[in-house]
């Protein structure tokens, strides 16, 4: 068992079709309001110049939206932050398109979609849009993606002694791949993790890596659960339920088949 | 802005706006003689590849990336529409 020194959650962001910002999501998680009926198809990434914006797929749009909102909430300049981007599947719609086109008409692959198909596309668009020269990481860890991304971001913040932006997202699966890697809707979340006690109130986050026989992740139980339950990133919700609750909370995320991440929020 | 487009130019203008997901550009407002790249519509090299792909699919002939006449072919909506009219199979 390994416990990391605490980090501070300086800013939080959340986006899904019916919960398009953290304030709305937090109120719904707490049961203070019902989710809006209106569903927003995708956020508009104002960060990007028109040329990048018109090429940005949904995965990039949601990643940039939550990244910007988390930096705003933290009062941090996005250009100065190292960043970790995590996604279970990347852009499955593009992966399906590439597979189907390669099988049928391989000479007719869209260069734009090929350009957008890589797992670090969102991170690349982010660094273009923010003009950030800070390092970024793009990772995937199957169903354990959110916990591994959180651990990576906290580890980087602690080792560098600098705040780190953590962005996680997953989108709708399409075509044949949807039968193997199902995911519904568009979901993006972000936090800025800092190592110094911020001037404004923040939550203190303590992470412990613990070997186990079988991970027992905390289940989502808020009214927001049904809105994200079928997205591949749904395992992130218990963490945001804990953030929405101002009282100290503990929860478990999975890191692997025999490894769990014990999360304390004070 | 009122511009005079032939039927072929109008059809190509619609393909460009749709294929490249151009924001705030109406097909009927693309000046047939204005540059498509850099100035004018402000397209870039990825757009050129994407456009060549869409033209291949729609009109049934290949636009080659190593064609030395590409600068002239892709100069404007008018020059591209004329090239398509001369080579189209579909």
CA distances from A106 to A100, A111, B22, B50 (A): 9, 12, 26, 14
Residue matched to tokens 């080792």: A159
Return the pLDDT at A160: 96
pLDDT digits (tens, 9 = 90+) for A156-169: 999 999 999 999 99
Both tokens assigned to B43: 């397209």
Strand residues in A34-154 grouped as ranges (E): 82-86, 136-139
Are B74 and B12 in contact by the 8 Å Cβ rule? The answer is: no
Q: Do B20 and A108 touch (CB under 8 A)?
A: no
User: By CA distance, what is A50's nearest residue in B?
Assistant: B23
| List of chain B residues with pLDDT < 50 | none
A138 pLDDT more than 70 = yes
Return the pLDDT at A167: 98
Are A187 and A172 in contact by the 8 Å Cβ rule? The answer is: no
Return the pLDDT at B2: 54
Instruction: Check CB contact of B90 with chain A, cutoff 8 Å.
Output: no
Q: Do B46 and A53 touch (CB under 8 A)?
A: no
CA distance, residue A27 to nearest chain B CA (Å): 34
Instruction: Check CB contact of B46 with chain A, cutoff 8 Å.
Output: yes
Return the pLDDT at A103: 95
- What is the average pLDDT across A122-149? 96
Q: What value of ipTM does the predicted structure carry?
A: 0.80
A70 pLDDT more than 90 = yes
Q: Do A54 and B42 touch (CB under 8 A)?
A: no
CA distances from A240 to A127, A231, A244 (A): 26, 15, 6
Return the pLDDT at A101: 95
SS3 (DSSP) at A138:
strand
- What is the average pLDDT across A151-159? 98
Return the pLDDT at A38: 92
Q: Do B21 and A54 touch (CB under 8 A)?
A: yes
Return the pLDDT at B1: 53
Return the pLDDT at B23: 86
CA B81 to CA A194: how far, in whole Å?
Answer: 56
pLDDT digits (tens, 9 = 90+) for A91-124: 999 999 999 999 999 989 999 999 999 999 999 9
**Chain B residues near residue A51 by CB distance under 8 angstroms:** 42, 44
Domains and CATH numbers, chain A: 9-198 (3.40.47.10)
Q: How distant is the alpha carbon of residue A125 from its chain centre? A: 15
Q: Thinking of the domain B7-21+31-87, which architecture would CATH place it in?
A: Orthogonal Bundle (1.10)
User: By CA distance, what is A110's nearest residue in B?
Assistant: B50
């Amino acid at each position: 068992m390994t416990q990391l020194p605490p980090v501070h959650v300086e800013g939080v962001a959340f986006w899904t079709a019916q919960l398009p910002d953290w304030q709305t999501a937090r109120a719904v998680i707490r049961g203070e309001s019902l989710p809006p009926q209106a569903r927003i198809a995708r956020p508009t990434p104002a960060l990007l110049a028109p040329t990048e914006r018109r090429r940005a797929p949904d995965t990039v749009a949601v990643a940039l939206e939550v990244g910007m909102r988390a930096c705003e909430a933290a009062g941090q300049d996005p250009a100065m932050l190292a960043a970790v981007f995590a996604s279970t599947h990347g852009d499955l719609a593009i992966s399906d398109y590439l597979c189907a086109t390669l099988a049928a008409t391989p000479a007719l692959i869209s260069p734009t979609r090929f350009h957008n198909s890589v797992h670090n596309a969102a991170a690349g668009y982010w660094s273009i849009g923010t003009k950030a020269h800070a390092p970024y990481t793009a990772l995937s860890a199957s169903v354990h993606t959110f916990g591994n991304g959180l651990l990576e971001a906290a580890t980087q913040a602690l080792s560098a002694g600098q705040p780190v932006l953590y962005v996680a997202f997953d989108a709708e699966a399409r075509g044949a791949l949807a039968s193997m890697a199902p995911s519904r809707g568009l979901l993006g979340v972000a936090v800025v993790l800092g190592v110094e006690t911020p001037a404004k109130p923040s939550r203190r986050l303590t992470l412990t890596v613990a070997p186990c026989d079988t991970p027992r992740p905390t289940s989502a139980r808020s009214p927001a659960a049904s809105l994200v339950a079928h997205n591949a990133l749904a395992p992130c919700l218990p963490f945001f339920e804990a953030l929405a609750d101002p009282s100290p909370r503990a929860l478990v995320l999975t890191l692997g088949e025999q490894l769990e991440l014990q999360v304390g929020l004070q | 802005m009122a511009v005079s487009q032939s039927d072929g130019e109008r059809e190509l203008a619609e393909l460009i706006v749709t294929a490249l997901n151009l924001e705030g550009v109406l097909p009927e407002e693309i000046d047939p003689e204005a540059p498509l790249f850099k100035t004018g519509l402000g397209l870039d090299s990825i757009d050129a590849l994407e456009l060549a792909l869409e033209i291949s699919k729609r009109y049934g002939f290949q636009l080659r990336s190593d064609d030395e006449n590409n600068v002239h072919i892709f100069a404007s909506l008018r020059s591209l529409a004329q090239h398509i009219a001369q080579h189209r199979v579909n």
